Amino acid sequence: MAAVQEQELTGWRKWFAGIGDQCVFFTSFLRNIFTGGFEWSEFVRQCYEIGYRSMMLVGITSFIMGAVLILQLRPSLVSFGEESMLPTTLSVSLIREIGPVITALICSGKIASSIGAELGSMKVTEQIDAMEVSGANPLQYLVVTRILAVTCMVPLLTIIGDIIGLIGGFIALNITDSISYVLYFHKCVAAIDFSDFLPAFVKTIFFGFAIGFVGCYKGYNSNKGTESVGIAANSAVVTASLWVFVIDAIAVQITSILFYK
Amino acid sequence: MEEVKEHKAQSKAPAKSPKKEVVIAIKGLKKSFGKKEVLKDINLEVHAGENVVVLGKSGQGKSVTIQCIVGMLVPDGGSLKVFGDEVADMNAEELKHLRMKIGFLFQSGALYDSMTVRENLEFPLTRVLKLKDEHKIQERINEVLEGVGLIDAVDKLPSDLSGGMRKRIGLARTLIIKPEIMLYDEPTTGLDPITSREISELILSMQKKYKTTSIIITHDMECARITADRVVIMNDGKYIAEGTFETLHKSQDQIVKEFFKDIS
């Protein structure tokens, strides 16, 4: 069927129409969580696709990040005679900020783009239309499951990434210095407070939601030409990455008010 | 308008009895996209068990008409009744129930490419008809796959199927919920002449088996010849002629003649 736009909007009107569309999409998502049967099998499949299949990438990146941080921090701390602070510094910076943000950015690149491209190509090949005209609910099957799966998996991937990052840091530290793993991990854990872990964990839930929501919205609402698939994937990555920084900025303000007054 | 009168006068009575129930009634249907008026004044009645073929050049709005029938698009004016109910006035639940009675075969087949053929066929049964009995589900899958002659493809992915096979599976998926109305959006586009003929004959045999009422959008004259009880020709947002395939074949109207010029 021909791709036909009901109305061509430009400028600010298009921007406001986009915001309105996203609000409608969000309310449809909320409504579909609670109405009708929840697609458990599709949700589990998405958790596997999104979580398990991203684990290697998140693991390698986090390992390198932990090692690089140690190697970068070491000269500065040595100049102050504080090399014993290396595990503590790494642990706090990794768990509070770098772990969640790097994992979320990797997920934006991998997950938001793949969801955007998958749903975009389903739109182009009329698969979403086919679901809709058959009387099935494509939002429930395609959107709700994906958004919830990403929301659950990103915090989990962040925790795994943090642990692997600390292991990377331990190996890097042992290249130049010698420290037992018991002492290293004791210092890492001792440096972490409830106020470090909780806000970082909570913000990853929001990161996950934003990544899933943006990927689904961009893919589900893409146009019907083949180039729209690329545009949906690309704009999903860009928008999701931007949202990660926006949420991070908001989260740091809230954390400062609540925990570090 | 004179053209319409001429062709209506030439047309034989529809192959099916005119006293049969009117399943789809379209009166003065209008639809525009921006400034482009796609449907200007569409009038059509489709009777129970009838196969109506809509012929027209690309971009004339043939698909828009059937999209309006299933409520994917909302018309700007006119009346469109299916089973006596106005589609534009239906709420989401009523529309869902209507869609359960309508099968829509997309041009591409629109198979869910992440699912096997079996999962594609299970989807409408478990999500739309809410069937739970595994034995009944498999029975229905085997029945439709035997109907389209592709029982061996049950565990294949759509990417492993040829264009013709995808169309057949698409047809099986729409027929599995036993719809009362079938809407075909260019079912033979992109297929070689032999496969096109096979698909057209399959449409006809499935229509006889499941006793569906069908609207077939096409510009494949062979498909129209095989499947049509009645042919409607669309031009410039209006239906300009209707009649049996043979009647229109003999028409002296220039636009109608254009469609039939390659038919011996």
Contact A134 B113 (CB under 8 A): no
Distance separating alpha carbons of residues B247 and B7, to the nearest angstrom: 8
* Residue A247 contacts residue A206 (beta carbons within 8 Å): yes
DSSP summary character for residue B14:
P
Cα-based distances in Å from A231 to A7, A111, A209, A234, B139: 20, 15, 21, 5, 42
Counting one residue from chain A and one from chain B, the pairs whose CB atoms sit within 8 A come to 70
* pLDDT for the residue numbered B263: 66
Contact B113 A127 (CB under 8 A): yes
Distance separating alpha carbons of residues B181 and B178, to the nearest angstrom: 9
- Nearest chain B Cα distance for residue A130, angstroms: 6
In chain A, the percentage of residues whose pLDDT exceeds 90 is 75
Of B96, B110, B127, the CB nearest to A127: B110
Does A34 map to a domain?
no
Which residue numbers in chain B have pLDDT < 50?
1-17
Structure tokens belonging to residue B172 = 């099986």
Residue of B nearest to A7 (CA): B34
Does A23 map to a domain?
no
Of B63, B97, B177, the CB nearest to A1: B63
The burial class, CB within 10 Å (0-12 / 13-18 / 19+), for A205 is: middle
Does A49 map to a domain?
yes
Of A1, A7, A134, the CB nearest to B34: A7
pLDDT in tens, A20-37: 999 999 999 999 988 877
Contacts of A149 (CB under 8 A, 6+ apart): A43, A46, A47, A49, A50, A51, A212
Residue of B nearest to A131 (CA): B124
* pLDDT for the residue numbered B59: 80
Of B102, B110, B114, the CB nearest to A130: B110
- Count the Cβ atoms, other than its own, within 10 Å of residue B70: 22
Instruction: For chain A, say whether B113 makes contact (Cβ under 8 Å).
Output: yes
* Residue A126 contacts residue A1 (beta carbons within 8 Å): yes
Is a pLDDT exceeding 60 seen at residue A2? no
Does A9 map to a domain?
no
All residues of chain B having their beta carbon less than 8 Å from the beta carbon of residue A129 are 72, 106, 110
* Residue B46 contacts residue B22 (beta carbons within 8 Å): yes
Does A82 map to a domain?
yes
Contact B34 A5 (CB under 8 A): yes
- Nearest chain B Cα distance for residue A155, angstroms: 26
* pLDDT for the residue numbered A8: 65
* pLDDT for the residue numbered A171: 95
- Count the Cβ atoms, other than its own, within 10 Å of residue A231: 15
Is a pLDDT exceeding 90 seen at residue A71? yes
Does A110 map to a domain?
yes
Find the mean pLDDT for residues A93-122.
95
DSSP summary character for residue B235:
E
* pLDDT for the residue numbered B13: 41
Question: What ranges do the domains of chain B cover?
Answer: 2-101+181-260, 111-178
Distance separating alpha carbons of residues B58 and B60, to the nearest angstrom: 6
Cα A154 from chain centroid? 5
Contact A1 B106 (CB under 8 A): yes
Q: If you average pLDDT over every residue of chain A, what do you get?
A: 91
Distance separating alpha carbons of residues B103 and B167, to the nearest angstrom: 13
Distance separating alpha carbons of residues A199 and A254, to the nearest angstrom: 9
The helix-helix angle for A145-176 and A181-191 (nearest 10°) equals: 130
Q: How many domains, in total, are found in chain A?
A: 1
Residue of A nearest to B173 (CA): A134
All residues of chain B having their beta carbon less than 8 Å from the beta carbon of residue A6 are 33-34
Is a pLDDT exceeding 60 seen at residue A1? no
Does A202 map to a domain?
yes
Cα-based distances in Å from A3 to A125, A137, A226, B12, B59: 11, 21, 11, 37, 10
Structure tokens belonging to residue A171 = 């190996």
* pLDDT for the residue numbered B264: 62
Domain span holding position A131 = 39-259
How many residues appear in chain A? 261
Give domain B2-101+181-260's CATH superfamily.
P-loop containing nucleotide triphosphate hydrolases (3.40.50.300)
Contact B63 A129 (CB under 8 A): no
Structure tokens belonging to residue A200 = 């970082």
All residues of chain A having their beta carbon less than 8 Å from the beta carbon of residue B112 are 122, 127, 130-131
Does A254 map to a domain?
yes
Of A118, A135, A141, the CB nearest to B96: A135
| Closest listed residue to residue A157, CA positions, set A89, A217, A110, A92 | A110
Instruction: For chain A, say whether B174 makes contact (Cβ under 8 Å).
Output: yes
Find the mean pLDDT for residues A42-70.
95
Distance separating alpha carbons of residues B218 and B213, to the nearest angstrom: 16
- Count the Cβ atoms, other than its own, within 10 Å of residue B197: 17
Of A4, A126, A133, the CB nearest to B33: A4
Distance separating alpha carbons of residues A191 and A154, to the nearest angstrom: 24
Kindly indicate the confidence band of residue A261, based on its pLDDT and cuts at 50, 70 and 90. Answer: low
